[in-house]
Amino acid sequence: MTDHRALRDAFGCFATGITIVTSFDEAGTPVGFTANSFTSVSLDPPLLLVCPGKSASSLPAIRKTGLFGVSVLSSGQRAVAERFAMRGVDRFAEGEWVESESGLLLLEGACANFACTLAQDIDAGDHQLLLGHIDSFRSAFDRQPLMYLKGAYWERD
């Protein structure tokens, strides 16, 4: 049997960025969650990967619409990350949002934003691997990213 706490601590030794993954439900209501499991996959075709837990409340909406956005948070956006990790709150009450061409809400002031079409949805234990085809993106290379390491946020101005 695996010691889940020890394994989580070992994974926590790898510094990651923090993202907000967004979509919308059948009624057009925005949904989203915080994720640090994110990576680039391919330049040609343009692909990225996010890995939400199977219990993510936004997962059914992403599957239904086939669309999701990813905002790579910048230093100073910790409150947004924390809010999107909560349940039972209006997650979009914090931060400034801009709508992509496909109707996805993307966070203003982020280091980068991506609007994606769901290319593959792969079962992976207690998580899902969402492979997204990048339909559009923008970046602000001069911004410092919000980081996550050893269970804590790290910011650099």
pLDDT tens track for 71-91: 999 999 999 999 999 989 999
4 located within any domain: no
Higher-confidence position of 2 and 55: 55
Mean pLDDT value across residues 106-125: 97
* Position 12 confidence tier, pLDDT thresholds 50, 70, 90: confident
pLDDT tens for each residue of 17-72:
999 999 999 999 999 999 999 999 999 999 999 999 999 999 999 999 999 999 99
Residue 22 domain-assigned (yes or no) = yes
Q: CA gyration radius for the chain? A: 15
User: Whole domain around residue 125: which residue ranges?
Assistant: 16-150
- The strand order across the sheet containing 147-149 reads 16-17, 147-149, 152-154
- CATH number of the domain that 95 lies in? 2.30.110.10
Whether residue 60 contacts residue 14, with contact meaning beta carbons closer than 8 Å, is answered with no
pLDDT surpasses 80 at 105 = yes
The domain tally of the chain equals 1
pLDDT of residue 155: 82
Q: What is the dihedral of CA 106, 107, 109, 113, to 10 degrees?
A: -40
